[in-house]
Structure 1
Amino acid sequence: MTITLRAGCTVMFTGDSVTDCFRLETEESLGYGYPLRIAGEWGLRHPDRPVTWLNSGYRGDRVADLENRWAADVLAARADVVSILVGVNDMGWHTLDPDGHKIPVEDFEAGYDRLLAPLAEAGTELVLIEPFLLPIGGVMRAGRNSVLIGEAERKEWRADLDPKIQAVRRLARRYDAHLLAADGMFAELAAGTGSERWAADGIHPTPAGHAALAAAWLRLVA
């Protein structure tokens, strides 16, 4: 099963900082990450099939944040294809509710399901990109701040993220969506070169990491 991008169709990328990639801080509306690389490569390969590319990603977003803006940011665009990458901010490292509890996987999956249901009903093609985490210690960016983390934190985050990755896979099957298995892809790439080549802090891709995401995304396209 592949995505069909016809001339004149619209593709919407949405999610957290990995998708955002400074789009609101620059004049490049697609940001400087994988959405821009996808759009550029598509234009090079298929000048006869122009596509409108949109990006509504926002750094720090969780599923709940996407849901709050879903109607205005995504549904109103009536895109033919919607590509979603979200989940790492629903992991325990970043998002605790006011009572200090991690976001349960059941809440994550239910909220994600509410995002997908109206798109599926409208016949939108869906691309779900797994959230991912590479095993790197040291300093990690958290918004505008940096935090020092160790192996214990990474193991705790991995234990929290893995069930959410499984939830994304279940939703992909439920909605007959295209799944980009990014967590496994990066683990395989890192096994040969080291994690720092793909995501310097384990979460935010390097230029090579964004290129890998873009190449994997384009492999889903007819």
Structure 2
Amino acid sequence: MPFQKNDVILFQGDSITDCGRNYDDTSSLGTGYALMAAARLGQKYPEKNLTFINRGISGNRAVDLQERWDKDCLELKPTWVSIYIGINDTWRYYDSGQETTAAEFEASYRDLIERTKKSLEAKLVLVEPFVLPVPEDRKGWRQDLDPKIHVVRELAREYGALLVPLDGLFAAASMKAEPAFWAGDGVHPSPAGHALIAEAWMTTVGAIS
């Protein structure tokens, strides 16, 4: 049983985490994997009185998380911190020429982890970014994204964080149904894609087997 009574679970990230949440409602979880995981875990562990918070913001990169980490993470005093960031660090390079090197991405990500460890006794869950080959040009993104996926894996190892290995899971899922079934633009998950993320997240933290 991974959770303690009154645990506070924070989901942080970009549009995949945000997923249409209402910014005026601090308890809004959006309609994606954060809501799905919260619903399932609340139903499974009602006696634990778990609190779920979503602070994903569409379009964010790792540097954007750095800027708002005090307010949108540390001050919330979560006991679990789930970080899912990286695809926009690649996307901005291809749509507007704003490059984030793997070294820059690692420095930003490491800063988030260090600040969290310094301020909180929180368990860390790192969710690696993924991309699927739809449309065709997404295949070219691999060159930029793969080193960032490796950064997330290395940081998880180094800091003893839990790792949600999404890139491989989505690749495997796209053998069962075409990639667009899981993410129409190769990035933003369908409802089925969000369910895949939620299940992978819960499996990683040990809430389901």
Task: Check whether TM > 0.5.
Answer: yes
- CA drift at 1:101: 4.9
Identify the match of residue 177 of structure 2 among 187, 193, 217: 193
**Residue number in structure 1 paired with 2:15:** 17
- CA drift at 1:174: 1.1
Moved more, 189-198 or 23-32: 23-32
Map Cα deviations across residues 170-193 of structure 1 (whole Å, 9 max, x no partner): 110111000000010000000121
- Does the alignment pair 1:109 with 2:93? no
Whether the 8 Å CA contact 1:120–1:175 is kept in 2: the answer is: no
Whether the 8 Å CA contact 2:82–2:127 is kept in 1: the answer is: yes
Map Cα deviations across residues 114-153 of structure 1 (whole Å, 9 max, x no partner): 000122233210000000101111xxxxxxxxxxxxx3x3
Hey, what's the Cα distance between the residues in 1 that align with 2:55 and 2:89? 18
- CA drift at 1:221: 3.0
Map Cα deviations across residues 166-219 of structure 1 (whole Å, 9 max, x no partner): 000011011100000001000000012111111111100000000111111111
**Residue number in structure 2 paired with 1:142:** none
Q: Which amino acid aligns with 2:6?
A: G
**Residue number in structure 1 paired with 2:133:** 135
5+ residue gaps, structure 2, are: none
Task: Return the TM-score normalized by structure 2.
Answer: 0.92
**Residue number in structure 2 paired with 1:89:** 88
1:83 partner SS: strand
Q: Which amino acid aligns with 2:144?
A: D
1:94 partner SS: helix
Number of residues of Structure 1 aligned to a counterpart in Structure 2: 204
Identify the match of residue 143 of structure 2 among 159, 166, 173: 159
Choose between structure 1 and 2: higher helix proportion. Answer: 2
Whether the 8 Å CA contact 2:132–2:139 is kept in 1: the answer is: no
Hey, what's the Cα distance between the residues in 1 that align with 2:125 and 2:169? 16
1:193 partner SS: coil
Q: RMSD in angstroms over aligned alpha carbons?
A: 1.9
Whether the 8 Å CA contact 1:5–1:221 is kept in 2: the answer is: no
Q: Which amino acid aligns with 1:22?
A: G
Hey, what's the Cα distance between the residues in 2 that align with 1:41 and 1:162? 31
Whether the 8 Å CA contact 2:134–2:185 is kept in 1: the answer is: yes
Task: Return the TM-score normalized by structure 1.
Answer: 0.87
Moved more, 71-80 or 40-49: 40-49
Tell me the percent identity: 43
**Residue number in structure 2 paired with 1:169:** 153
Whether the 8 Å CA contact 2:92–2:99 is kept in 1: the answer is: no
Identify the match of residue 119 of structure 1 among 96, 116, 120: 116
**Residue number in structure 2 paired with 1:61:** 60
